[in-house]
């Protein structure tokens, strides 16, 4: 197991070079003049020097491999460059925005995993009965509804009409407290920080802002987990060892929980792995709809402004995250299924 | 074998039926029934082995699973002699009878949970049937593994680490764990190599002597059945067509179907000329069995009466029963088996 993990981690740099190289090549379609805009923090900078001087100054006239190596040198020093769109260093921007996305992901993942698996179990147990049909319709709707449409519906109902769950991350008053010196931001996740600071009112306010995006994210993935669990459960229910379990005289509950569900979890783990990754990176749309200032919104805005230092930096970050998540999933396989050997 | 015959009745199956509905259309309307088991009656005595034979699809596995209530029978009664009291085996009572009636399954590869360790597979029925002490359970597992020819070092392993024969031994140990009286063996060796088959069969025989077990042994392989059984029931299309002692069935079969089955047993002696009776046609569909005797379309001796009238299973004075109109007049060929062990 340890050799397996080590080997996979040794593979990490290869993946990262691949990812960044691809983005670099894509970036090379931009002219040096377009690229230089990423370095210009304010119009004043153009007063004393021309764009072509800046191009030379930042080495953008160099061939692509030279620029790549220069960028890599900085990365190895821990410098991902300065993001104009975020008006701060890329590392700083990630550190600031990622906790928000992580917080949203955590809130979405918990109901998704438990609810999805539970509903899938119920559905499989009542195969082809009304309960099964109902949960399947629920799943199909969730899976086929685009998240920006569903998000807007949620926003319309719960904010527009009811006024319960506003967009953003915090109300203005809470934001002011958080930014004041008295409030310590331990994790960057508002709910946890609020509890650690003993501010229950801020905790509730943060929670109120989390509800709508959580529902939007959860419904989509719920549908997916439900369907995977259901079909996997149905598959296992027909296995001979389930019949053996019944012959042993076990209670039906034990047969389902101990024999069927444990074996049915193997494909679910794969999906959960990619889901967590998706929640951490692909929530651009949901964060945009709800104006939730997480990393998705950061990337979306950066990309619109051709802020390629930001795009490169966050891609690198997600490359690392991807490799690590896949590693965890692969290790989990071995834990779940004794037939799997990690080599 | 003569001793086994004297044992008291343990199992009494009366007119057992299992029909599966054939559904059609949007609203799954039932348009017919597959009569997998269609009125099977038989008795099993304590300590004996009843072999149930027949070709694929004749309902023998369905019969075995019905005995265990793993399939709920459509009709009929299964009575079990529980310490002198007759108990009807049904969905309600089976919970209490799981420690009396156990089953060995056909496929040792798929019938063991791949995520459980051997000791837990074998110990689980104990926990389900009231042995709450874990050490006690594992002690029992250890002695069971020894009884089936495995060792205590196998306890912590997973099923995939074993060969087919070893896995079937695990399956046997699991069935034995609750100390049952009756074991339904559903083709327990058909998935194994011939060399391993003999080992497992001998193990089953040894265990029968050691623990005083009664077997209902479902199989399609006549040489296997002959090796282990005291009595044999031959099934065709969900019904018993002939039943009797091993010698009666093998030496002097009375049903043309049994004769054809026996003639198909391969002989190890190359000089013996094969006189295989090749049955024409396929097994008729159990959804639409032929009128009269179900075997008549394939029977070389069929008469007009066979086409119209269904023969009942009738026993002679020696306890050899057959369902054939022409049983008395036909002189059918058996095989020479001599004394069975």
> How confident is the model over A260-316, as pLDDT tens digits?
998 999 889 888 888 888 888 757 888 988 999 899 899 888 888 888 888 888 888
pLDDT over 80 at B3, yes or no = no
Q: Which chain A residue has its CA at the smallest distance from B112's CA?
A: A241
* pLDDT-derived band at A180, boundaries 50, 70, 90: confident
Q: Over range A234-259, report the average pLDDT.
A: 92
Chain B residues near any Cβ of chain A (below 8 Å):
65, 68, 70, 95, 98-99, 102-103, 105-107, 110-115, 124-125, 128-129, 158, 160, 171, 174, 178
Contacts of A337 in chain B (CB under 8 A): 114-115
Contacts 24+ apart (CB under 8 A), A154-162: A154/A212, A154/A215, A154/A216, A155/A212, A155/A289, A155/A290, A158/A211, A158/A212, A159/A212
Q: Please, which residues 320-339 of chain A have a Cβ atom closer than 8 Å to chain B? A: 336-339
Contacts of B99 in chain A (CB under 8 A): 249
The class (CATH top level) of A89-336 is: mainly alpha
Task: Please give the pLDDT value at position A282.
Answer: 58
Q: Which chain A residue has its CA at the smallest distance from B159's CA?
A: A339
B174 vs A339: CB contact, 8 Å cut-off? no
* pLDDT-derived band at A103, boundaries 50, 70, 90: very high
| Closest CA of chain B from A240, distance in Å | 5
Q: Over range A113-122, report the average pLDDT.
A: 92
Interface confidence (ipTM) of the complex: 0.84
Q: Which regions of chain B does DSSP assign to beta strands (E)?
A: 9-24, 29-45, 49-53, 75-82, 85-88, 101-104, 182-186, 214-219, 231-236, 239-245, 314-315, 321-322
- What pTM did the predictor assign? 0.81
* pLDDT-derived band at B142, boundaries 50, 70, 90: very high
Q: Over range A2-11, report the average pLDDT.
A: 86
> How confident is the model over B24-58, as pLDDT tens digits?
888 888 888 898 999 999 999 999 999 999 888 88
* pLDDT-derived band at B339, boundaries 50, 70, 90: very low
Which H helix or E strand runs over A240?
Answer: helix A240-247
* pLDDT-derived band at B6, boundaries 50, 70, 90: low
Read off φ and ψ for residue B126, nearest 5 degrees. Answer: -65, -45
pLDDT over 60 at B138, yes or no = yes
Domain ranges of chain A: 89-336
Q: How many CB atoms lie within 10 A of CB A11?
A: 12
* pLDDT-derived band at B338, boundaries 50, 70, 90: low
Return the percentage of chain A with pLDDT > 70, whole number. 99
Return the percentage of chain B with pLDDT > 90, whole number. 60
A240 vs B174: CB contact, 8 Å cut-off? no
- Which of B114, B137, B176 should be substituted to probe chain A, the one whose Cβ sees the most A Cβ atoms within 10 Å? B114
B283 close to B55: Cβ distance less than 8 angstroms: yes
Which domains does chain B possess?
Answer: 9-41+54-100+223-322 (3.40.50.300)
Q: Which chain A residue has its CA at the smallest distance from B172's CA?
A: A244
> How confident is the model over A124-167, as pLDDT tens digits?
999 989 999 999 899 889 888 888 899 999 999 999 898 888 88
B174 vs A338: CB contact, 8 Å cut-off? no
pLDDT over 80 at B2, yes or no = no
Alpha carbons A54 and A52: distance in angstroms, whole number? 5
Task: Please give the pLDDT value at position B274.
Answer: 67
Selection from A323, A322, A342 nearest residue A334 by Cα: A342
B114 vs A249: CB contact, 8 Å cut-off? no
Contacts of A259 in chain B (CB under 8 A): 113
A240 vs B107: CB contact, 8 Å cut-off? yes
> How confident is the model over B72-94, as pLDDT tens digits?
999 999 999 988 889 999 988 88
Q: Which chain A residue has its CA at the smallest distance from B184's CA?
A: A247
Task: Return the DSSP state at A198.
Answer: T
Q: Which chain B residue has its CA at the smallest distance from A266's CA?
A: B115
Q: Which two tokens stand for residue A106?
A: 């955590």
Task: Please give the pLDDT value at position A171.
Answer: 87
> How confident is the model over A284-295, as pLDDT tens digits?
888 988 999 899
> How confident is the model over A322-340, as pLDDT tens digits?
888 888 888 888 888 888 8
């Amino acid at each position: 197991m340890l050799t397996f993990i080590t080997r996979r981690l040794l593979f990490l740099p290869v993946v990262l070079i691949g990812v960044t190289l691809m983005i670099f090549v894509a970036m090379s379609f931009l002219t040096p003049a377009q690229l230089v805009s990423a370095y210009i923090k304010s119009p004043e900078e153009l007063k004393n020097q021309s764009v072509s001087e800046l191009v030379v100054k930042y080495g953008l006239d160099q061939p692509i491999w030279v620029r790549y190596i220069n960028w890599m040198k900085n990365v190895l020093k821990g410098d991902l460059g300065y993001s104009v769109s975020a008006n701060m260093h890329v590392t700083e921007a990630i550190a600031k925005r990622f906790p928000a996305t992580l917080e949203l992901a955590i809130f979405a993942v918990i109901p998704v995993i438990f609810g999805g698996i539970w509903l899938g179990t119920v559905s499989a147990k009542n195969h082809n009965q009304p309960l099964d049909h109902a949960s399947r319709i629920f799943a199909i709707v969730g899976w086929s509804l685009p998240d920006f449409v569903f998000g807007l519906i949620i926003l319309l109902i719960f904010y527009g009409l009811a006024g319960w769950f506003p967009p953003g991350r915090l109300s203005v008053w809470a934001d002011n407290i958080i930014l004041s010196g008295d409030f310590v931001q331990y994790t960057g996740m508002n709910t946890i920080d609020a509890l650690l600071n003993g501010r229950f009112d801020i905790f509730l306010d943060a929670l109120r802002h989390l509800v709508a995006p959580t529902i939007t994210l959860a419904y989509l993935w719920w549908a997916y987990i439900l369907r995977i669990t259901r079909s996997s459960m149905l598959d296992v229910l027909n296995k001979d060892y389930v019949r053996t379990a019944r012959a042993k005289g076990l209670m039906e509950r034990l047969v389902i929980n101990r024999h069927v569900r444990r074996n049915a979890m193997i494909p679910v783990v794969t999906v959960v792995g990619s889901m967590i990754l998706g929640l951490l990176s692909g929530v651009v749309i949901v964060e945009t709809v709800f104006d939730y200032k997480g990393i998705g919104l950061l990337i979306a805005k950066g990309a619109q402004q051709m802020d390629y230092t930001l795009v490169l930096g966050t891609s690198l970050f997600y490359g690392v995250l991807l490799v690590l998540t896949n590693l965890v999933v692969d290790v989990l396989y071995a834990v779940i299924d004794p037939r799997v050997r990690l080599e | 074998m003569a001793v086994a015959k004297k044992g008291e009745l343990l199992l009494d199956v009366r007119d057992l039926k299992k029909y599966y509905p054939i559904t059609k259309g949007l609203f799954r309307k039932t348009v017919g029934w597959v009569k997998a088991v269609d009125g099977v009656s038989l008795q099993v005595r304590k300590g004996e082995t009843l072999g149930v034979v027949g070709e694929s699809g004749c309902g023998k596995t369905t019969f075995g699973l019905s005995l265990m209530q793993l399939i709920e029978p459509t009709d009929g009664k299964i009575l079990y002699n529980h310490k002198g009291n007759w108990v009807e085996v049904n969905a309600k009572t089976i919970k209490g009878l799981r420690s009396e009636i156990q089953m060995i399954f056909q496929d040792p590869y798929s019938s063991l949970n791949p995520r459980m360790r051997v000791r837990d597979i074998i110990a689980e029925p104990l926990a389900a049937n009231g042995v709450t002490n874990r050490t006690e359970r594992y002690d029992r597992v250890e002695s069971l593994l020894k009884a089936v020819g495995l060792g205590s070092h196998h306890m912590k392993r997973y099923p995939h680490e074993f060969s087919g024969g070893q896995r079937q031994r695990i399956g046997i140990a699991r069935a034995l764990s609750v100390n049952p009286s009756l074991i339904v063996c559903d083709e327990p060796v058909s998935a194994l190599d011939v060399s391993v088959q003999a080992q497992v069969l001998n193990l089953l025989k040894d265990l029968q002597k050691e623990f005083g077990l009664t077997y209902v042994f479902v199989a399609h392989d006549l040489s296997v059945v002959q090796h282990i059984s005291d009595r044999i029931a031959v099934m065709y299309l969900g019904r018993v067509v002939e039943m009797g002692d091993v010698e009666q069935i093998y030496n002097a079969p009375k049903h043309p179907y049994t004769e054809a089955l026996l003639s198909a047993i391969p002989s190890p002696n190359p000089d013996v000329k094969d006189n295989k009776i090749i049955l024409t046609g396929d097994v008729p569909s159990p959804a639409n069995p032929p009128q009269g005797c179900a075997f008549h379309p394939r029977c070389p001796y069929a008469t007009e009466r066979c086409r119209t009238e269904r023969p009942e299973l009738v026993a002679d004075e020696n306890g050899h029963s057959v369902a054939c109109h022409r049983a008395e007049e036909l002189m059918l060929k058996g095989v020479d088996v001599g004394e069975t062990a």
